[in-house]
Structure 1
Amino acid sequence: MTGPQTTCPIAASLELLGEKWTLLILRDIHRGICRFSDLEESLGCPRSVLSARLRKLVEHDILRVEPYREPGRRQRHAYTLSTKGRDLVLVLAALQQWGLKHLPDVAPIAPEPVHLGCGSPVEARLSCRRGHHVEAEAVGLPEWP
């Protein structure tokens, strides 16, 4: 981690994940786009940036590298989500839900995330550990030392 150390989990998470390409890489890998060349094509991300972001996500065990070889070609790598990476689907769903609600220019063209089991749209929601649904205005964020 660069810069001053922090005990704030939001700041620490942003240090690792808070760059546009990182979240879009995670989105695409969650959607099943997992080869470097396919990610590059999907994202339009510069190769050097894509390579650096993938390396950082692997180093932090958010992505795993799986070698593959197409017939007659050299070995290459595909990227899959680790448990830590799969846990970020909540963050991605919440960002998409927020964008659909508050950015009207993207809402008509962006499909909602769906539950693969039944096809119903998925909502990112807050709940307390006792199972109560919690609205945003009822959430307290503590101060960090």
Structure 2
Amino acid sequence: MRPIQPELIGAIERTAKKLKDGGSSYQWGHMGACNCGNLAQELTPFSKAEIHRYAMERSGDWNDQILEFCPTSGYPIDLVIQRMLDFGLTLDDLGHLERLSAPEVLERIPFERKQSLSQNKREDVVFYLETWARVLREKWEKQQSSEILERVEKNSIPVY
């Protein structure tokens, strides 16, 4: 992942909340309503139907779309993916989201829950998104602390 943007953390948190509260439809086999599709709705101006339609212009699921990604292809799904990447995500992040498989997120999930985690269960996706958002928020806070310390050190007058 590139430098963490607070907008990304907020989008992940909103996605989890909408899924948890039933404000978003969830269907793992639908390109606009699955794990990546729901986050794409938060990060882009595209609707569930538009994302699905764009993805259907090429064959395959989100993992296939990620593998085929080319920012200059002219395929609308590549525009959706690029907009997601513009928020600091990587293609690996998207692949992990679709499979609920990012090692840094999984290490925060209790063993019993991790063993039963299913990429196509709404409640598991919500739990994963909430955990991922916490991981990113903690990393972002550390990133901010480091930047503040660097600025203080850079602007400090040395004492002899």
Q: TM-score if structure 1 supplies the norm length? A: 0.31
Normalized per residue, which structure has more helix? 2
Greater RCO, 1 or 2 (C-alpha within 8 Å, sep 6+): 2
Query: What is the TM-score of this pair, normalised by structure 2?
Result: 0.29
